[in-house]
Structure 1
Amino acid sequence: MNMRILWASTALAMAAVAPAPAAEYNSNHFFAERHSLVRGPYVEFAEKVAEATGGEITFRVFSGGSLIPAAASLQGVRDGVAQVTYHAGTYTPAELPVENLIGNMAFYNTDPFVMAMASTEFSMTNPAALEEWRRNGVVFGGGYSTSEYYMMCNTKVETLADVQGKRLRMAGGAWSRFAEHVGAVPVSIPSSEMYTGLDTGSLDCAVTPGDSLDSFSLGDVVTSMNTLAIGNYYAGFLWGYNKAFWQGLTPEQREVLFGQMAYFLAKGRVEFSADVDKAIDSAIAKGMTVYKPDAALEAALAEFVASDEAALIAAAKERGVENPEEILAEFKKVVDRWDALLEGVDRTDVEALAALAQKEIYDKLDASTYGVK
């Protein structure tokens, strides 16, 4: 059956009914189940939500793109194929211009804990962001941030000269512009295709977090890694809910989801960092060489960061965003706020991080009106 027809027919069936007691709903993620953003924030999250609601909300977890492919996850949750899904905003720049605007500020602060919290708060409170979710038929539940992006290569890449001419898998947007800035060739492919690209030689490097050495098996095809921190990724959402589903919940049920999202926002981020460390250590033990960037490569990154904000603003205006300068200024304030809030907080303490997310984000939302009005 044609996939669009399948989605449409499924969506019509699901959209016709509001949530009912003891129903099973679909949750979707295109990463494999072993990934830190799936096993906690989706698999364990589903278990905890079912337990806390007495089985009134039960999510069936689809991972690895088995229900909805990566590029269609926004459409899939909007149409009711899934009631909650992960979505990477880079796949839908036209539909999510505000989210891609802030997502491309990936070099402003590369602390993944700060960016996970800040992107969540901003996307749940900023009027332009909220209007964007409303327009797309999605209720934003919570954000995330990957760890810092590194160059993981099948050849030696240490210096600026080494990077020039190399084919780099990039996440699009600012990352692609950075590749061009240093004389490399950006290649935009889904994360699921990084392994094949490196294995066949159609890629020289994948620019991705270190956990990909394990979660995407890149350790089998990567021989070197450069530790230049090329931003991190947080555009889109870790949990985006179908609007009809969300509006059919009771305020008490939404409060349960708020609490579980606060907890797994923290736990997913802690486990992501642990997975990065473990994967890099394992790859080094198997022979991967780690290079520090030379001074010229570091200088090129600094030069790019200083000049790229104008490109972000221009791209946002082309996509119809009003006052992108003001949006970026507000986003920076939120980022700076979280930078201060997280100063001195143990980045391995899930309970402390979750309590902070609950207090500073979710407790400030009204479960009777958020995503409803």
Structure 2
Amino acid sequence: MNMTAILKSTAIALVAMTTTATAESYNANHFFAERHSMVRGPYVEFAEKVAKETGGEVKFTVFSAGSLLPPASSLQGVRDGVAQVTYHAGTYTPSELPIANLVGNMAFYNTDPLVMAFASTEFGLTNPEQQAEWKANGVVFGGGYSTSEYFMQCNTPIRTLEDMKGKRLRMAGGAWSRFAEFVGAVPVSIPSSEMYTGLDAGSLDCAVAAADALDSFSLKDVVTDLNTLAIGNYYAGFEWGYNVPFWQSISAENRRVLFNQMAYYLGQHRIEFDKDVEKAVTSAQNAGMTVTEADATLKNALAEFVVADEAVLIKTAKERGVKDPETILTSFKATIDKWDALLANVDRHDPDALAQLARAEIYDLLDEKTYGVD
């Protein structure tokens, strides 16, 4: 057999192997590291449970830390079938997801992460305008999430409004960047993976992020001060977004398995996220980091910003083509208030109790035969 024939034979064999692998397993994508609370439970454990509950009919191979898709490409990647399920941070695609970014920028309305995880999930699954947006982008929305509260993690003390002047703050974009400008700081838009370098090199004064970053991004090595002013929390986009052909190809019974597992990990990831924050802050304090509260001038400035920024949210949404952002925000606020009340009467540290509530109020009300199919 000549070399050309050998290469041709090898190529055919590789294609066959790839086709077989694709038929047996699917790709699950997340750009956080595998040790992160939003990956190790909602993706790694999730994949194991789904494979077991579907009798091996739905098997996900989990790719983490951007090894399959970079953050800005996750929406396109799931639409095009590079991944069959992915996490997506909505900030990366404001033009494609104007409604998701509109509600995602309401992060200061209620900073309770558990409330926002459940509220964003129900809204994303049931609001007609939001559903139309997912469909237009070739994704079946599966469920939301929320980070823990965002805090200023700094290499310089921040106590007062005056302390904020001219400080360079890593922000998540949108409302967070506008808040920085509102208080006289300078917003810096960089990925979370670059926070350490920025603080270490002095190009950042603070990273504004959930405090688990002290461990997950090793910020405790470069952060000397943490201010506990809650600068919102992040939930824009989705924790699980599915490729449409994949979703429609699996059985209704297997879609119900996915519903049930998402209901469980919706609450589980919040419990684990907060545990990681507590552990990270304690460890950093033991290593010498100072934890402090904002003074009245800074708290008042945040309160003033929250009121003023809603008009900006509405104006920006209209510029991006959202027809009636006022009505959408009213609906979202009602959903938030509903979950604020519901979660007051459940053990917030019991993942099974939270899963039962998520099923009863959200997932059991969906029809696995038609959701994402019609």
TM range (shorter): over 0.9
| 1:228-262 deviations in Å (ceiling 9; x for gaps) | 00001100000000011001011001000000000
Matches within 5 A, 1:296-315: 296-315=297-316
Query: Paired residue for 1:65?
Result: 66
TM-score for the superposition, normalised by structure 2: 0.94
Q: 1:326 to 1:20 in 2, by over 3 A?
A: farther
Dislocated runs of 4+, deviation >3 Å: 17-22
Is this contact kept in 2: 1:73–1:85, CA < 8 A?
yes
Q: Please identify, of 235-244 and 212-221, the stretch whose mean Cα deviation from structure 2 is larger.
A: 212-221
* Structure 1 residue 21 displacement after superposition: 10
Matches within 5 A, 1:239-318: 239-318=240-319
* Structure 1 residue 158 displacement after superposition: 1.4
| 1:5-39 deviations in Å (ceiling 9; x for gaps) | xxxxxxxxx9xx99999611000000000000000
Q: 1:267 to 1:18 in 2, by over 3 A?
A: farther
Query: Paired residue for 1:321?
Result: 322
Determine the C-alpha separation between the residues in 1 that align with 2:166 and 2:218.
25
SS at match of 1:343: helix
* Structure 1 residue 163 displacement after superposition: 1.1
Is this contact kept in 2: 1:158–1:294, CA < 8 A?
yes
* Structure 1 residue 135 displacement after superposition: 0.2
Determine the C-alpha separation between the residues in 2 that align with 1:247 and 1:328.
31
Correspondence 1:28 to 2:29? yes
* Structure 1 residue 102 displacement after superposition: 0.2
- Counting aligned pairs with the same residue, the percent is 71
* Structure 1 residue 153 displacement after superposition: 0.5
Q: 1:19 to 1:136 in 2, by over 3 A?
A: farther
Amino acid at match of 1:224: D
Q: 1:18 to 1:342 in 2, by over 3 A?
A: farther
Determine the C-alpha separation between the residues in 2 that align with 1:131 and 1:18.
32
Matches within 5 A, 1:147-186: 147-186=148-187
Determine the C-alpha separation between the residues in 1 that align with 2:128 and 2:362.
15
Correspondence 1:127 to 2:141? no
Q: 1:370 to 1:347 in 2, by over 3 A?
A: same
* Structure 1 residue 157 displacement after superposition: 1.2
CA RMSD of aligned residues (A): 1.6
Is this contact kept in 2: 1:21–1:56, CA < 8 A?
no
Is this contact kept in 2: 1:26–1:61, CA < 8 A?
yes
Correspondence 1:219 to 2:220? yes
Correspondence 1:108 to 2:109? yes
Is this contact kept in 2: 1:49–1:57, CA < 8 A?
yes
SS at match of 2:78: helix
Correspondence 1:86 to 2:94? no
Q: 1:227 to 1:217 in 2, by over 3 A?
A: same
Determine the C-alpha separation between the residues in 2 that align with 1:94 and 1:272.
29
Query: Paired residue for 1:51?
Result: 52
Correspondence 1:141 to 2:154? no
* Structure 1 residue 344 displacement after superposition: 3.1
Determine the C-alpha separation between the residues in 1 that align with 2:319 and 2:368.
35
Determine the C-alpha separation between the residues in 2 that align with 1:70 and 1:45.
21
* Structure 1 residue 156 displacement after superposition: 1.1
Is this contact kept in 2: 1:19–1:249, CA < 8 A?
no
Higher radius of gyration, 1 or 2: 2
| 1:103-135 deviations in Å (ceiling 9; x for gaps) | 000011111010000000000000110000000
SS at match of 2:302: helix
Determine the C-alpha separation between the residues in 2 that align with 1:52 and 1:178.
45
| 1:50-89 deviations in Å (ceiling 9; x for gaps) | 0001111110000000000011110111110000000000
Determine the C-alpha separation between the residues in 2 that align with 1:125 and 1:20.
34
SS at match of 1:61: strand
SS at match of 1:369: coil
Amino acid at match of 1:121: E
Determine the C-alpha separation between the residues in 1 that align with 2:231 and 2:344.
22
Determine the C-alpha separation between the residues in 2 that align with 1:217 and 1:74.
28
Work out the number of aligned pairs and report it: 358
| 1:136-167 deviations in Å (ceiling 9; x for gaps) | 00000000011110000011111111111000
Determine the C-alpha separation between the residues in 2 that align with 1:334 and 1:20.
41
Is this contact kept in 2: 1:210–1:279, CA < 8 A?
yes
* Structure 1 residue 360 displacement after superposition: 0.5
SS at match of 1:57: coil
Is this contact kept in 2: 1:22–1:55, CA < 8 A?
no
